[in-house]
Amino acid sequence: MNKNSLLTTYDKDLRMRIMYPEARREITGDVVRFIRKAPGMNFVSFTFANEPNLERVIDRELEYFTPMNQPFTWKVYDHDLLPSLEMKLMERNFVTDDDPATVMVLDVSDAPAYLFEPTAMDIRRVTSRDGLKDIIHVLDGVYGGHNSWVNERMGGHLQVPGYLSMYAAYVDDEPVSVAWTYFPRGHFATLFGGTTLPKYRNRGLYTTLLSVRLTEIRERGYPFAVVETGDMSRPIVTKHGFQHLTTVYDYEWARN
């Protein structure tokens, strides 16, 4: 599949047709949008409108979302054929995304063979709400605070058969690195996490968790794995065969 065809499939699977258990999808003639219960983040995932209609569409969406009194983002991708969308969003008090994510994709059939070799590391699958405490332990250690949102969101997602697979790596029975995969309908399994406590980095834990997840992705028949990366993870996945697909920017509306 060439890149243009892959982008078209990506848009259909992960921006238009995707469903989230905790959100309501609405498709209008102008956008695809997702609505969560307050105080969750609502967002526009795809813009159908063409350039001459953008101002009208943005204003209409603001009229729709403003009364909800919830945070609201508009997703913009490098491959969207809407060159003025970002400028028009900023003119309406959307905040520029200073930390865009690079979307990287791997054709699982072309993945290096070593990624499917067995590992001697202590990797465990988290299958229950009780096991989420280990996920939170690592996230708290890396990002600070208490990431209790994991209990509600991911606890709910674990109840959906086949939708979410979560893994933790352990050293001396302590959880030190975590990662997970979502399996929406379509061609793409989506990778998240790969978060490791600082003192345990550079030990191959990220790669091992990637290998475990790619093995499951291949076994479940998904042709592609996709991940949104930052500066730290991008070189690692590139080394393992992932290729740049696009870049995504989240423009968050700042209320007047």
Give the span between the Cα atoms of 93 and 37, in whole angstroms.
Answer: 23
pLDDT string in tens for the chain (256-residue length): 699 999 999 999 999 999 999 999 999 999 999 999 999 999 999 999 999 999 999 999 999 999 999 999 999 999 999 999 999 999 999 998 899 999 999 999 999 999 999 999 999 999 999 999 999 999 999 999 989 999 999 999 999 999 999 999 999 999 999 999 999 999 999 999 989 999 999 999 999 999 999 999 999 999 999 999 988 889 999 999 999 999 999 999 998 6
Q: How many CB atoms lie within 10 A of CB 24?
A: 12
pLDDT at 232: 84
Token pair belonging to 121: 């590391």
pTM (2 d.p.): 0.94
DSSP 32: E
Burial of 114 (0-12, 13-18, 19+ CB in 10 A): exposed
pLDDT of 34 reads 98
Judge whether 75 and 248 are in contact, CB under 8 Å. yes
